[in-house]
Amino acid sequence: MSNQHHLQQFKDQLTASISSNVFVKISLGNYQGNEKELKQIHIRRVKIKRTDMLSFTYRYKTRDIIKNFPVSEGITLISHFISNDFKIATLFTAEKEVILEHGNKQQISIREQTSGKAVKPDLTHNKEKKRLIQPIGKPYLVQLKLTDSEGNVFKNAQDKYKQINQYIEILNSLVKELPAGSVKQVVDMGSGKGYLTFLLYDYFQQVLNEKVKVTGVEYREDMVQLCNTIAKQSGFEQLDFVQGTIEDYDVAGIDLLIALHACDTATDDAIFKGIKANAKLIVVAPCCHKQIRREMEKSKVKNEISVLTKYGIFLERQAEMVTDAIRALILEYFGYKTKVFEFISDAHTPKNVLVVGVKSAKSESYNIETKKLEILQKISETKAYFGISYHHLERLLGLDQLV
Ligand SMILES: C[S@@+](CC[C@H](N)C(=O)[O-])C[C@H]1O[C@@H](n2cnc3c(N)ncnc32)[C@H](O)[C@@H]1O
């Protein structure tokens, strides 16, 4: 039989295995194409946002790259690969393995063998990631309009839901590094509709089984009222929402301070409050960085980095980095160990940087005053370099008076 016939036969078996739900995976090997360091591709079936897809894992010498395609597009791509650059392909189904191979003299053969092991196709495809807080049986998530009554996350709430869950996952590992039971009071600055605040409360009660007081601070009265009503109806006695500004909120006794996308300098106000309260943990995901951006726009420094601030988009990114880098330095000045990282893919939110400060328990072995002076020096140099006259957090703490 012709090569063309074997290729078509393989494609038909693949299509049939997918439609009859016995498809397990495909491995493509013996790559002879031009892409440097590509070794193999493994393909499995996944469900993404409730749509069937084929997920291709491209195995390179030192890394993997995953690309997902709608099923029909994926099948066309596999047909292309097996006709050209991959000289061996194995289709694994629940009942058998189908092997297509390019032999010498450009002869293509196809053979079948029964599956070595009884492999069950993953009919649930890629299940929803097991999260610390499962959305099922949580009336508050229904009232917050994140899920329906069966716990299905609404399509338009998926990104927000992922963000807040990821935030909780990170907080979980940070809180676990502290001595058990050391978080008693938590505040969420600029809590908005309270999504994260509720989830955090649930996390302390259900996952850690700890009675922790959680407060959301928000200046929008309507949101505060709504959140307090839902908290009451849920029987969450230690969760409340306070109408007012971050600046005016009394943070005495706070152990953990969080802020998710508190606008512009509201993030600075939140960090300031955390430092003043000597909070054990400060975890903020900043929002817009207008204050520093305006400073940089105003001064338009002419030095070797001018090109980095010439274009609006670069200016915005520089402003973001400078703002958060100085925030991290200031936290270090006040004895916090800091980390800055992306807490979630930018596919879910472009504001995906997390600034974490963990209050150091032990005093450093080297001279703390020297370290503080070095930090002030670094802040001062950074400001001068970017033509910034002041950073809001620095001013709140009076650090600009020290240099
Ligand atoms: C972008 S929203 C984020 C809300 C919530 N943290 C979330 O991620 O879903 C920012 C919220 O912070 C509130 N906010 C901003 N500045 C504030 C301030 N200085 N004091 C109190 N609330 C503030 C706004 O009213 C808004 O609801």
Mutate to test the pocket of ligand 1, among 161, 162, 186, 191 (most ligand atoms within 8 A of CB): 191
Percent of the residues in the chain that have a pLDDT greater than 90, as a whole number: 67
Question: In the 3-class helix/strand/coil scheme, how is 144-176 assigned residue by residue?
Answer: CCCECCCCCECHHHHHHHHHHHHHHHHHHHHHH
- pLDDT higher at 367 or 205: 205
> Which atom of ligand 1 is found nearest the CA of 245?
20
> Which atom of ligand 1 is found nearest the CA of 188?
6
pLDDT of residue 124: 46
Give pLDDT tens digits for 277-287. 999 999 999 99
Distance CA(373)–CA(267), nearest Å, equals 24
The mean pLDDT value of the chain amounts to: 90
Give pLDDT tens digits for 112-126. 988 655 455 554 444
Residues 6+ apart with CB under 8 A from 211: 204, 205, 238
Give pLDDT tens digits for 327-383. 999 999 999 999 999 988 777 788 889 999 999 876 555 678 889 999 999 999 999
pLDDT of residue 118: 46
Query: If you take atom 26 of ligand 1, which residue's CA is the nearest one?
Result: 192
Is it the case that residue 83 has pLDDT exceeding 70?
yes
Distance CA(160)–CA(156), nearest Å, equals 8
Residues touching ligand 1 (Cβ under 6 Å) are 190-193, 195-196, 217-220, 245-246, 260-263, 266, 269, 287
Residues 47-68: what's their mean pLDDT? 82
